[in-house]
Copies of this chain bind each other. A is one copy, B any other.
Amino acid sequence: MFRTAFENLRQKAPLIHNITNHVTVNDCANMVLACGASPIMADDLGEVEEITTLCAGLNINIGTLNSRTIDSMLLAGRTANRLGHPVVLDPVGAGASRLRTGTALRLLEEVHFAVIRGNISEIRTLASGAGTTKGVDADVADRVTEENLDAAVRFAKEFASRTGAVIAITGAIDIVADGDTAYCIRNGNAMMSSITGTGCQLSALTAAFVTANPGHTLEAAAAAVCAMGLAGEVAHRRLTPLDGNATYRNYIIDAIYNMTPQQLEEGANYEVR
């Protein structure tokens, strides 16, 4: 199933519009290229409507948010909705400032998202309409563990029902859920959290997977999460004792570049709850 989703992506090579932060924008573009899609980064109000129209999917990421780009996100999101293009939201740092929380909530009100992907703190912030996070990393007290997995799954399904979006909560265990079904994914490597932007890259990758698989948003998002985690595993096996997080970053993108649909199908490590 994930094999087919990835085959569709490689074959269709969709053009993905990204409005994203300037910290990890280069990595996101290379990740979109690595998976076989084509990225275009554009965030000026004067062109986002045309760029979204030209593309097949949209990825909105609120890291390094600024007043200039918020209107662009809203306009692009509404345009994508009107055209029926899937939109992914990455609420980076929601809960860390009123600007980010408020913007994320406003985006949720005005735009329908196909997928919302964040860590548990960010997703909780959106679900509760307020909250605090420790910067852009998941609050330790809020980490998804084997012990609280069932509760987290219920939370994800409920928020998915409420928003009509697939909810992807990533961390040590990833949850990808719609209102009925949740994929609990155990791919990945703990060292991924020592790289800036693996979450951002995953959101861009998710937009590519979902865009190439209309009508199969849940499976496509789960495939993207498994692919990213599997890439983290493949890349980690390549590391020598002198390699650190910079080389690891490159190897993860390399691993997506070289990943075959068959490899994803075999390497995906998940259960459905």
Contact = CB atoms under 8 A, between A and B. Distances in A.
A30 B22 CA distance: 14
B242 A246 contact: no
Interface in A22-59: 22-27, 29-30, 33-34, 38-47, 50-51, 54-55
A136 interface: yes
A22 B42 CA distance: 10
A193 to B, nearest CB: 8
Nearest to A27: B26
Interface in A220-273: 234, 238, 241-247, 249-258
Contacts of A98: 46-47, 50
A242 B238 contact: yes
A262 to B, nearest CB: 16
A40 B100 CA distance: 13
A11 interface: no
Interface residues of A, number: 65
Contacts of A26: 23-24, 26-27, 196-197
A72 to B, nearest CB: 9
A64 interface: yes
A179 interface: no
A15 interface: yes
A134 interface: yes
A63 interface: yes
A17 B51 CA distance: 28
B249 A245 contact: no
A256 B21 CA distance: 25
A96 B54 contact: yes
Nearest to A137: B38
Nearest to A102: B46
A194 interface: yes
Contacts of A253: 244-246
A208 to B, nearest CB: 13
Interface of A: 15, 21-27, 29-30, 33-34, 38-47, 50-51, 54-55, 63-68, 93, 96-100, 134-137, 194-197, 234, 238, 241-247, 249-258
13 contacts: A24-B26, A26-B26, A33-B195, A40-B96, A46-B67, A46-B97, A46-B98, A47-B65, A47-B100, A50-B99, A234-B242, A242-B254, A242-B258
Given A41-B64, A44-B66, A243-B254, 9 more contacts: A33-B194, A42-B65, A42-B97, A47-B65, A47-B98, A55-B135, A242-B254, A244-B258, A246-B257
